[in-house]
Amino acid sequence: MQQKDRKQMYRQQTMSYFINAALEIIEEEGIDSLSIRKTAEKAGYNSATLYHYFSDFEELRIFSAMKYLDQYAKDLPAYLEPVTRPLERYLKIWECFCLHSFSHPDIFWLLFFKHADTNWDFSYYFHAYYDIFPESWSEDAANYKNMLSSANFSEREFLSLTDSLNKENIFLPESDIHNLATMNIMLYRGMLETLREDSEYLSIEEATATTVSFIRRALTSYNIDLD
Amino acid sequence: MQQKDRKQMYRQQTMSYFINAALEIIEEEGIDSLSIRKTAEKAGYNSATLYHYFSDFEELRIFSAMKYLDQYAKDLPAYLEPVTRPLERYLKIWECFCLHSFSHPDIFWLLFFKHADTNWDFSYYFHAYYDIFPESWSEDAANYKNMLSSANFSEREFLSLTDSLNKENIFLPESDIHNLATMNIMLYRGMLETLREDSEYLSIEEATATTVSFIRRALTSYNIDLD
């Protein structure tokens, strides 16, 4: 048993070396420049060894991308702290998510949209990431991390919206909440993809303010009063 | 002069052979399978000859994609014919555009979004296409074709929306019209990109109905009455 734990610990430590090497490359050259060869070299291993720890290049990319999601999850509690009204908190979550994801649109696209058509197990990578980097896990962020790990993007948006409306005693039929959640995701995704193609389109702050204002409008179109 | 005309005609005819060959490949295998080699082979030329007529592969792809835009432009007048109210016509234009573009999301993405960050001259390709295929030009569609060739996607949406509101004597500040146009484009683009990644997400008809219903909601959020 202890033997197995030590083996597992060694494995996770080695994975962390590769992921940290990959993150350095992403920071310096962007995620499009990442490669197995460069990552292995920077970590001091050869490419064949890397494949003992990651099933393919995409898995290395996804583990590396998780770091950016972790930064968002860490940032969120302080961001929400001064806000009490549930729907304003809901909008603040979007604001914080926009700020983080619009800073790294390709990375968040990879995590949330690239694999939408396959049944890939986001929560597996999510939990495995915190097994590899347990020091990253904080109780403070645990709430939001649970939310983040629980389901796919549109399910998460639906749950977050439903929860906020319930807390405000606003009744909307489930189909309306579903449509509103979808509308908000389309608005977000439209902006994310625009920034992926054209990083000069708007500043991160402008793109965030614009997207949140559109989501506000979507809410008002369902007669949800935000004043 | 006549010599030059004949030379030009010969050039355009040869271009049309290449474009038609490319279109056959797109129809059979999809735009991702298109290649210079396959296109030249199907047209009965070699690859080097193709490069005398197209500056690069992307130019061949864009000329081929124009055919799908032409089909939309041809379809639009009959689609609008029974509708008189300006804002309903505006929504019908979106509906027709969604139906066509969601049937070929990669092709419309290529035409409208891929080159958004470069100052590429859409109207050059637009007019060159109808020089190569003059039989495709019809007076009936000329109105919409002028609109299509006039500007970039967001400018076109802004003009189309402004025109419809004016005709209905609805006054909105220019900044509101600009924001509403941007919101509608984000909604459309969010759906287009979702379908590019996951063709099973919704049927073409469902995706169209959903997008148009979101655009309706965006209008109502600006107190534009559609009943």
Query: What is the rounded average pLDDT of the residues B210-224?
Result: 96
pLDDT value of position B220: 94
Does residue A1 carry a pLDDT above 50?
A: no
The predicted-structure confidence for B147-167, as pLDDT tens digits, reads as follows: 666 557 888 899 999 999 999
Amino acid identity, position B121:
D
**Beta-carbon pairs below 8 A across chains A and B:** 82
Q: Long-range CB contacts (< 8 A, 24+ apart) of A113-120?
A: A113/A153, A113/A189, A113/A192, A113/B193, A113/B194, A113/B197, A114/B197, A116/A152, A116/A153, A116/B194, A116/B197, A116/B198, A116/B201, A117/B197, A117/B198, A117/B199, A117/B200, A117/B201
Amino acid identity, position A202:
L
A82: closest CA of chain B, how far (Å) = 28
* B193 at A interface, C-beta within 8 A: yes
B226: closest CA of chain A, how far (Å) = 13
Does residue A194 carry a pLDDT above 80?
A: yes
B210: closest CA of chain A, how far (Å) = 8
For chain A, state the CA radius of gyration.
Answer: 19
Judged by CB atoms closer than 8 Å, whether chains meet at A183 and B221 is answered as no
Backbone angles phi, psi at A80, to 5 degrees: -85, -20
The topology under which CATH files domain A65-221 is: Tetracycline Repressor; domain 2 (1.10.357)
Does residue B2 carry a pLDDT above 50?
A: yes
- CB contacts of B172 in chain A (<8 Å) are none
b vs e for A198-224, b when ≥16 Cβ sit within 10 Å of the residue's Cβ? eeeebebeebbebbbebbbbbbbbbeb
Type and span of the H or E element at B31: none
Type and span of the H or E element at A172: none
d(C-alpha A208, C-alpha B184), whole Å: 17
A10: closest CA of chain B, how far (Å) = 37
Quick one: closest CA in B to A119, which residue? B198
Across chain B, mean pLDDT equals 90
Query: What is the rounded average pLDDT of the residues A198-207?
Result: 95
DSSP code of residue B34: -
d(C-alpha A36, C-alpha A68), whole Å: 20
- Which residue intervals of chain A bear CATH 1.10.357? 65-221
Q: What is the ipTM of this complex?
A: 0.91
* B114 at A interface, C-beta within 8 A: yes
Measured between alpha carbons, how far is residue B38 from residues A160, B31, B214 in Å?
50, 12, 41
Confidence class of residue A2 from pLDDT cuts 50, 70 and 90? low
Across chain A, mean pLDDT equals 90
d(C-alpha A159, C-alpha A152), whole Å: 11
CB B36 within 8 A of CB B60: yes
* B44 at A interface, C-beta within 8 A: no
The predicted-structure confidence for A108-135, as pLDDT tens digits, reads as follows: 999 989 887 676 777 888 888 988 998 8
Judged by CB atoms closer than 8 Å, whether chains meet at B183 and A214 is answered as yes
CB A80 within 8 A of CB A55: no
CA angle A183, B183, A200 (to 5 degrees): 115
pLDDT value of position B1: 47
Amino acid identity, position A148:
L
More confident residue, B155 or A53: A53
- CB contacts of A183 in chain B (<8 Å) are 187, 214, 217
Judged by CB atoms closer than 8 Å, whether chains meet at A218 and B218 is answered as yes
The predicted-structure confidence for B195-205, as pLDDT tens digits, reads as follows: 999 999 999 99
- Which residue intervals of chain A bear CATH 1.10.10.60? 1-54
Query: What is the rounded average pLDDT of the residues A61-85?
Result: 92
**Which superfamily is assigned to B1-54 in CATH?**
Homeodomain-like (1.10.10.60)
- CB contacts of A113 in chain B (<8 Å) are 193-194, 197
Nearest to B190 among A190, A201, A210 (CB): A190
d(C-alpha A46, C-alpha A31), whole Å: 20
Classify burial at B114, counting beta carbons within 10 Å of its beta carbon; exposed 0-12, middle 13-18, buried 19 or more. middle
